[in-house]
Amino acid sequence: MRLVTLGTGAGRPTLRRASAAVALEFDGDIFLFDCGEGTQLQLMKSRLRWGKVKAIFITHLHGDHFNGLVGLLGTFSLSERTEALHVFGPSGMSEILRLGLKRHQYSLSYPCHFKEIKGPSTLLETETYCVKTQALSHVIECWGYVFQEKDLPGKFDRDAAFRAGVPSGPVRGRLVRGETVTLEDGRVFKPQDFVGPTRSGRSVAYCLDTRPCQGALDLAKGADVVLYESTFTKDMKKEAHAWGHSCAEDGAQVAQEAAAKHLILTHISQRYGSSKELLEEAKPHFENTVVAYDLDEFQIERGGGLRLIDR
């Protein structure tokens, strides 16, 4: 599981920080969260196979989270994409996208399904993952997301199975699935004798734009990684909350209360030239905090590890 912070700025893009967008790569598919102006260029600069975007999740309809989407949909078509694409977002999204595609005279080469969110729910689910949403607290309708990998069976101990005479093939598969197996000759094999403990799936929460709220806490609960907005520092907390935003301290307190493992601060105002002030504010509340920069790549490892990948 790989995470790429494509755009980490707030409000307007700058030469140092592009508009909001994050890509999550899982099992060869890419899930895009927000699509600010210039996102397709950031995708091309990254090491991602950007044509593998499977679904896009828009938090809200402010331009710095949304203005890059019509162009990206058109570029997919110019690239002769044929795989279906799912786009989730707030009410009003479909109308804007359809009008934009019509006025630009884009005739898409692939099925594109626009789905407006009606309430907290599971948006996508397969055998290996699910994506859920909760309402956030911004100045307009806004939705946060959590990507959850499903738990994996424990590792099968081949040596123990060989010593016990467990036949190869379907019998071993049934043990991995947690079944007790009785053979025709009367031998009984129990899964706990050959299969290790269940391995917890990894999860990534995406919480922006928002003031601290219950929806953000619900999404972040127990997450391996929480991406949380840090538009301001705490000296502007009153203004931040009035404008539907958070400061670095807010993000750290949400991660701490949610018992998350790692916090990545993003959506950084152009007024902050370095990450020093933001980190100094967040780390006393939550030590495992980093401030993202454009095109940072993070490997989310099993067991709770987060590693910045050298480019």
Q: Within this chain, do residues 208 and 265 fall inside the same structural domain, yes or no?
A: yes
Q: Within this chain, do residues 56 and 140 fall inside the same structural domain, yes or no?
A: yes
**Span 240-266, average pLDDT:** 99
Of 64, 224, 250, 296, catalytic: 64
* pLDDT score recorded for residue 254: 99
In total, the chain counts a number of residues equal to: 311
Q: Within this chain, do residues 24 and 55 fall inside the same structural domain, yes or no?
A: yes
Q: Within this chain, do residues 175 and 247 fall inside the same structural domain, yes or no?
A: no
> Hey, what are 28's tokens?
């060869």
Q: Which domain holds residue 168?
A: 158-193
Q: What DSSP letter does each residue of 128-181 carry, written as one string?
A: SEEEEEEE--SSS--EEEEEEEPPBPPPB-HHHHHHHTPPSSHHHHHHHTT--E
pLDDT of 311 higher than 80: no
Q: How much of the chain exceeds pLDDT 90, in percent?
A: 92
Per-residue pLDDT tens digits for 74-120: 999 999 999 999 999 999 999 999 999 999 888 999 999 999 999 99
Supply the mean pLDDT for the chain.
96
Q: Within this chain, do residues 179 and 225 fall inside the same structural domain, yes or no?
A: no
Active site residue 250: no
80: left (phi over 0), alpha (psi -120 to 50) or beta: left
Per-residue pLDDT tens digits for 130-139: 999 999 999 9
Q: Within this chain, do residues 63 and 171 fall inside the same structural domain, yes or no?
A: no
Q: Within this chain, do residues 28 and 87 fall inside the same structural domain, yes or no?
A: yes
**Span 249-274, average pLDDT:** 97
* Bridge pairing between strands 85-89 and 112-116: parallel
Total domains in the chain come to 2
- How far is Cα 194 from Cα 158, in angstroms, rounded to an integer? 8
Q: Within this chain, do residues 31 and 179 fall inside the same structural domain, yes or no?
A: no
Q: Within this chain, do residues 124 and 183 fall inside the same structural domain, yes or no?
A: no
Min mean pLDDT across 147-156, 232-241, 292-301 is at: 147-156
Q: What is the pTM of this model?
A: 0.92
Residues 7 and 33 sit within 8 Å (Cβ to Cβ): no
Give the end of a domain, one of 142, 174, 193: 193
Q: What DSSP letter does each residue of 179-193 carry, written as one string?
A: --EE-TTS-EE-GGG
Min mean pLDDT across 17-21, 152-156, 209-213, 263-267 is at: 152-156
Q: Within this chain, do residues 66 and 215 fall inside the same structural domain, yes or no?
A: yes
Give the end of a domain, one of 144, 172, 193: 193
One-letter amino acid at 47 equals R
The CATH number of the domain holding residue 12 is 3.60.15.10
Q: Within this chain, do residues 127 and 252 fall inside the same structural domain, yes or no?
A: yes
**Count of C-beta atoms within a 10 Å radius of residue 65:** 26
Give the end of a domain, one of 170, 193, 216: 193
Per-residue pLDDT tens digits for 24-78: 999 999 999 999 999 999 999 999 998 999 999 999 999 999 999 999 999 999 9
* pLDDT score recorded for residue 177: 87
Residues 58 and 131 sit within 8 Å (Cβ to Cβ): no
- Which distant-in-sequence residues (6+ apart) come within 8 Å of 206 by Cβ? 22, 33, 34, 57, 59, 144, 145, 146, 147, 219, 227
* pLDDT score recorded for residue 193: 93
Min mean pLDDT across 21-35, 136-150, 159-173, 248-262 is at: 159-173
Q: Within this chain, do residues 50 and 125 fall inside the same structural domain, yes or no?
A: yes
